[in-house]
Amino acid sequence: MGSPGCEHTGFTSHSPLYISHPHTETRTAWLDDGEDIKPPRSLLGLPELSLPGVYLPYCDRLYMEENPWILKMTEAPASVTAPPSRSPEMNSAKPSEVPGPPSEMEGQVEERCLEQVQTMVVGEVLKDVDTACKLLNIAPDPLDWSCVHVQKWLLWTEHLHRLPQVSIMFQELTGRELCYMTEADFRLRSSQFGDMLYAHLDIWRSTAAMKARCPKEDDKSADDDSWSEVISNYPNQPIHLWQFLRELLLKPHNYSRCIRWLNKEKGIFKIEDSAHVARLWGIRKNRPAMNYDKLSRSIRQYYKKGIIRKPAVSRRLVYQFVNPVF
DNA sequence: AATTAGGACCCCG
DNA sequence: CGGGGTCCTAATT
């Protein structure tokens, strides 16, 4: 009876982001889009996040969420196209729109727009790195990673981009060692995805560098009450399943598609996508074989401990925190 | 076919 | 020892 979760937004977590302008035309696409389109080489090796067309490997939900700037950019001479998916009508239709040579003013407008985009992109990247850090319980700077952290990050990246398991090829490597590897080294370990992983790592390093440079740049954003909240301590404090679930629940922006409150006051929540939640838990615990069967077994252990129970009216995939202190 | 409930056993910090 | 992970059986939805 229920419609499965994916509908509300209309985009999938891996819709491509399109940005184009007269001089640069960049399209990013996710690997499982079928054709494997990669960002221009020049973008991959960049030490900084400064680019006109932006490759955003792990900003999954990035700006698919009807963002204002997309509209702005559409009005500007430089056109931004954000095809919702594969709708054939969208692309080729309008010959009248082909712009002449850009005037100077148009160039300025364009630059400003690009600046805006960059700023927002950087913000999003920072946010996503932050989220990943908290979920994985790893430091933002790859240089600080242990072998375990490296594996977590790899699992995470694989998960986010639906890569096959390449993490096995990077075992026994610390973050520092990883950072010293060249792109060629990466490709040696995975001929198909090495460069991609290299690019992702590069973004993390850039982000860490940026954070180091301007450490006060915390987004004020009100919707993310995540900064102080939660997540206790960095060191490898083992996290409990119920804590992890609570973390996900407290980040509806990122995870409401797989787990959400039915009644926050009473602590009642529903797992919308059991497989996804299990995967996240597996990544967090470095247990690639985790699945909902096992996760739910662990939840059931909480019954007799009085941490989680089934609500009065039992429904599938619905649980309740016994002491909802939120 | 998925989910639920719990028993059993094992591993690890 | 506690908290899970893994595997399994049986019942329920």
Domains identified in chain A and CATH numbers: 118-212 (1.10.150.50), 238-321 (1.10.10.10)
Q: What is the pLDDT of residues A82-102, one digit of tens each?
A: 333 333 333 444 444 444 455
Predicted local distance difference test score (pLDDT) of residue A78: 36
> Does residue A298 reach within 7 angstroms of strand C, measured from its CB?
yes
Does the structure show a pLDDT above 50 at A206? yes
Stated in angstroms, how far is A252 CA from B4 C1'?
Answer: 26
Predicted local distance difference test score (pLDDT) of residue A40: 34
Q: Which nucleotides of C are covered by protein (CB under 7 A)?
A: 3-8, 13
Stated in angstroms, how far is A18 CA from B11 C1'?
Answer: 48
Stated in angstroms, how far is A129 CA from B9 C1'?
Answer: 39
Q: What is the pLDDT of residues A132-161, one digit of tens each?
A: 888 888 889 999 998 989 999 999 998 888
In SS3 terms, chain A reads as: CCCCHHHCCCCCCCCCCEEECCCCEEECCCHHHCCCCCCCHHHHCCCCCCCCCCCCCCCCCCCCCCCHHHHHHHHCCCCCCCCCCCCHHHHHCCHHHCCCCCCHHHHHHHHHHHHHHHHHHHHHHHHHHHHHHHHHCCCCCHHHCCHHHHHHHHHHHHHHHCCCCCHHHHCCCCHHHHHHCCHHHHHHHCCCCHHHHHHHHHHHHHHHHHHHHCCCCCCCCCCCCCCCCCCCCCCCCCCCHHHHHHHHHCCHHHHCCCEEEEECCCCEEEECCHHHHHHHHHHHCCCCCCCHHHHHHHHHHHHHHCCEECCCCCCCCEEEECCCCC
- Average of per-residue pLDDT values in chain A: 68
Does the structure show a pLDDT above 80 at A118? no
Does the structure show a pLDDT above 90 at A164? no
